[in-house]
Amino acid sequence: MSGVAVVIGAGDATGGAVAAAFARDGLIAVPVRRHADKLAPLALRIAAEGGQCVAVGADARDEAAMIALFDRIEADIGPVEVLVFNIGANSPMPILDESVRRYTKIWEMCALAGFITAREAARRMAPRASGTIIFTGATASLRGSAGFAGFAGGKFALRSLAQAMARELGPKGIHVAHSIIDGAIDTEFIASNFPARYALKDQDGILDPEAIAAEYVRLHHQPRSAWTHELDLRPWLERW
């Protein structure tokens, strides 16, 4: 039975590229987002490339749904070798206008969902003493910017979760990594809302989702004598 790469937050850019990259690497891709119908183009792409894909619609904040998902994967699809947690929740709001409801939702998407899905993956990986868990972070994982209190709080929490899990699970044979995506990514959102930044694409001035995905696959294949925990990825033109 082939191993499985679960990608939580498999959107049209980074998450989709990551799922496709692991499928090309020989794993069965299980991309997950709230609405399964939005995964149809990704599933077709993976099939066209000769890979295997089982697309799933589910809310990663729902503990019962995630437990059922990982039980189903292990029983019917294959052992979970890789979990990539890629939910973004990048939504600006001035602090004077921020609401408890919005702040809580962002935290749930960034941090709570990360905890639930990583715990469930780790529970399946631990008896096998192997596996890779990758959390996608952001510039907000390191510093809070004006207007992004909710996002920074969620991403800070996700980074600390990754650190704690790496220290606990590394000795059990599970590689836990946190990647800081520090810069604009080649997406329709950036093209539409930040055209000047998107114009840097021809100079490799924004992050290519395929390049990010390639680094995630490399993380999975690292020998345990030299595991990376935190990986910074940014375009060569990015100020930091």
pTM: 0.95
Q: Are 232 and 159 in contact (CB under 8 A)?
A: no
Residue 238 within any structural domain of the chain: no
Question: What distance in Å separates the CA atoms of residue 87 and residue 89, rounded to the nearest whole number?
Answer: 6
CB atoms within 10 A of CB 237: 12
pLDDT of residue 188: 86
Q: What is the mean pLDDT of residues 20-31?
A: 98
pLDDT of residue 23: 98
Single-letter amino acid code for the residue at 10: A
Confidence check: pLDDT of 1 > 70: no
CATH number at residue 158: 3.40.50.720
Residue range 74-86, pLDDT digits in tens: 999 999 999 999 9
CA 157 to chain centre: 15
For the chain, what percent of residues have pLDDT higher than 70?
100
When pLDDT is cut at 50, 70 and 90, the band that residue 30 belongs to is very high
Quote the tokens at residue 56. 């799933």
pLDDT of residue 67: 98
- In sequence order, the β-bridge partners of residue 82 are 5, 132
For the chain, what percent of residues have pLDDT higher than 90?
85
In eight-state DSSP terms, residue 38 is G
Backbone angles phi, psi at 147, to 5 degrees: 90, 0
Residue range 179-229, pLDDT digits in tens: 999 988 998 888 988 899 999 999 999 999 999 999 999 999 999 999 999
Residue range 97-111, pLDDT digits in tens: 999 999 999 999 999
Residue 111 within any structural domain of the chain: yes
Task: Report helix, strand or coil for 60.
Answer: coil
Confidence check: pLDDT of 240 > 90: no
Domain enclosing residue 176, as ranges: 4-233
Q: What is the mean pLDDT of residues 22-36?
A: 97
Angstrom distances, CA of residue 35 to CA of 6, 61, 82 = 16, 14, 22
Q: Are 216 and 18 in contact (CB under 8 A)?
A: yes
Quote the tokens at residue 172. 């059990």
Residue 239 within any structural domain of the chain: no
In this structure, which long-range contacts are made by residues 94-102, counting pairs with CB atoms below 8 Å and at least 24 apart in sequence? 94/147, 95/147, 95/149, 98/149, 98/150, 102/150
Q: What domain count does the chain have?
A: 1
Residue 240 within any structural domain of the chain: no
Confidence check: pLDDT of 172 > 70: yes
- Which of 240, 215, 239 lies closest to 228 in space, CA to CA? 215
3-state helix, strand, coil in the chain (%, to 5): 50, 15, 30
Angstrom distances, CA of residue 78 to CA of 29, 71, 75, 176, 194 = 10, 10, 7, 20, 41
